[in-house]
Amino acid sequence: MDTRVTDKAEFVTLTDRHGNLNLADWESILVTDEEESAIERLLDSMFDEVTFVARRKSDGAVGILIEASEFPHAGSDDSPEEVVEAWGGGTVNGKPVSVSDLPSLDDVTTELSMAAREVAAAYPGLDVAVTHGPDVTGGRAVIRAFVPEGSEHAPAVEAIARRLMGEAPEASPSP
């Protein structure tokens, strides 16, 4: 599992969270006919506004970029009350979350890394990263996974997304 600090610059998002084509950048994206066909096929795999159809820059692979909910911390743009509410009054990295004791970015990325490792173990070879940076809303942290079209995990996009969002898996993770 990859726990590097990264941003969406590693990917070209071809759609938004709703499956609409990224027309604002369409000219600069240079989408091939093959990629347009892949976008059409992948739209049915999108799930719960946490997915995009994207192209990975390193190898040109087109697939689903899953971006689980953004997780606030003491250094994010959220108010202390919003941070506590987002964590449901639970714990982060074993510590209770309260207005007077907000989790640090390190605490949040450690917590997310544990969750990401579990997902990576359930889906061997899946590209999973815990990330934060200028492209994440409000300076929050996020877990991202990339599922290339045609990969063994392509049929499990929804299950992967649910696990990244902290929901229990409903069935066996691998097809």
> What is the DSSP track for 117-173?
HHHHHHSTT-EEEEEESTTSGGG-EEEEEEEETTSTTGGGHHHHHHHHTTPPPSS-S
Residues 6+ apart with CB under 8 A from 172: none
Q: Is 78 helix (H, G, I), strand (E, B) or coil?
A: coil
How much is the mean pLDDT over the chain?
82
C-beta neighbour count of 91 within 10 angstroms: 13
Residue 146 contacts residue 63 (beta carbons within 8 Å): yes
The answer on pLDDT for 3 being more than 60 is: no
Phi, psi of 150 (to 5 degrees): 85, -5
The answer on pLDDT for 27 being more than 80 is: no
**pLDDT for the residue 39:** 87
- pTM to 2 decimal places: 0.81
Calculate mean pLDDT across residues 56-67. 90
Highest-confidence segment of 80-94, 119-133, 141-155, 159-173? 141-155
Tens of pLDDT, residues 66-87: 988 788 899 999 889 888 888 8
Calculate mean pLDDT across residues 11-35. 77
